[in-house]
Chain A
Amino acid sequence: MTEYHRPTSRADALTALAEGGARARPLVGGTDLLVGLRHHHDVADVLVDLKGVTDLPEPIVVTDDGVRIGPTYTMGELVSHPVIGEWYPALVEAALTVGSVAIRNRASLVGNSCNASPAADTAPPLLVHGARVTISSQDGDRTASLDEFFLGPRRTLCGPGELVTRLDLPRPAPGSASAFRRLTRRRGVDLATVSVAAGVGPDGGLVVGMGAVGPRPLRTAVPGPVDLTDDASLDRALDELLGVATPITDVRGSREYRLATLRVLTKRAVLAAADRRDPREMAS
């Protein structure tokens, strides 16, 4: 028996998730969950549809300090939001690579992180931009950085009876910028062979988020300034940034191929992000 719940309040949703325990899954877009159920990768039999809940955080709220995203905000809404495009360009570039138009019309941003695929397209830019999540249960709320949230393949801090109710992105510092690069075998509907988002800070420091090169999306940083006009200095920074990558060989590429392309893509993302910085606001 698959139980399908369509709660209208946050409290009822959390009750259904608590009662279902490890057998329960929140449902928003379903673009990963339904595929998992069909192929027995996921054996959940209690589905809690969040799309009718009226008192969850709003899909998106923009403040002077950043952006707050609720669990039902879709990739399709995200890619056409003007503030997201201005403040988090790498996130829009990444979201535009997710599935297809029809997938993006359904898939949620928060769900992409909760599914915790090591290749989740939007995870690298969210890591670069310092995303934090709020995890709620009947016992209350707790928050964590997205970097802490990812534990391993398909594993996160969000356990049975819990729900990610909110994702917060701080407003980027003036003079910083981000960019995303991704390698796939075909343009639409394929998972990343390697993906990387890079951020350049106002002081010239670098932060990188990586997908499909480890058991979970990875985040590393080097303090600035890094002289991006000097190849040797950029190479040293890349050595430092990419040391954490431990890709595996699978159908999409070998370990060696992934390591080689990761370096190329990271370099391109860093330089693309640097090109986007507003020179009037740079500290260096």
Chain B
Amino acid sequence: MTSTARVPDHLDDDGLQTVTLTVNGSERTVAVPTHRTLLDGLRDEVGLPGTKSCCAEGECGACTVLLDGKSVNSCLVLCVEAEGHQVTTVEGLSDDGLTDLQEEFLNAGAVQCGFCIPGQVVSAEYLLRTNPEPDEVQIREALSGNLCRCAGYQRIVRAVQATAARRSER
């Protein structure tokens, strides 16, 4: 119940609404108040805490997930809006261990405190799927909505570049 404490009082006494959505390939049904965000639904109802709750207003990118394949801030999507849609969280980028992108984040030393990393990884994965050979300017633009308070941006950019290079060799 991390960020629900910030929900206005007048929204609190809702009845629950049943929402069926596909999360990381599995159909899930959750019962939530209508004001509950997708972020809270994923963390508290589905039990996937990889998606992080931070600014809760679309500024920091820690809560980034893929909704029908497009990156979105899950703190700015109501859980009820996701009815019938496909959600991919950082946990669902790979069925088996780390993705090449996650490995390159480790190789580049791009993970400091680690809090922003799930959002960075999802945003970077969305970039590489839509633009497999981004230049540095495009990488920085694509990740400009993901804040890193450790300011580890250089290594994050290097991790994305290394992944792009690795994928182009395949």
Contact = CB atoms under 8 A, between A and B. Distances in A.
A50 to B, nearest CB: 11
Interface string B108-151: 00000000000000010011000000000000011011100000
Secondary structure class of chain B's binding surface, majority of residues: mixed
Contacts of B70: 76, 105
B97 interface: no
A276 interface: no
B50 interface: no
Interface stretch (B2-10, B20-28, B88-96, B158-166): B2-10
B99 interface: no
A2 B145 contact: no
Interface in B29-83: 33-35, 37, 56-59, 61, 64, 67, 70-73, 75-78, 80-81, 83
Contacts of A2: 11, 14, 33-35
Contact of A106 (B72, B126, B142): B72
Contacts of B169: none
A44 B11 CA distance: 10
A249 interface: no
A45 interface: yes
B78 A102 contact: no
A257 interface: no
A105 B71 contact: yes
B123 to A, nearest CB: 7
Interface stretch (A28-36, A120-128, A224-232, A267-275): A28-36
Given A102-B64, A189-B145, A30 B14 contact: no
A45 B78 contact: no
Given A1-B15, A100-B61, A188 B145 contact: yes
Interface in A210-260: none
A51 B144 contact: no
Given A2-B14, A102-B145, A35 B57 contact: yes
B76 A101 contact: no
A101 B71 contact: yes
Given A4-B34, A35-B76, A100-B61, A45 B11 contact: yes
B80 A38 contact: no
Contacts of A3: 34
B14 A1 contact: yes
12 contacts: A1-B14, A1-B15, A27-B78, A34-B37, A37-B11, A38-B56, A39-B57, A43-B8, A45-B11, A100-B144, A188-B144, A189-B59
Given A4-B17, A99-B58, 6 more contacts: A1-B13, A31-B73, A35-B58, A35-B76, A38-B8, A101-B126
Q: Top 6 nearest A-B pairs by Cβ distance?
A: A100-B145, A188-B144, A4-B34, A105-B70, A102-B71, A2-B34
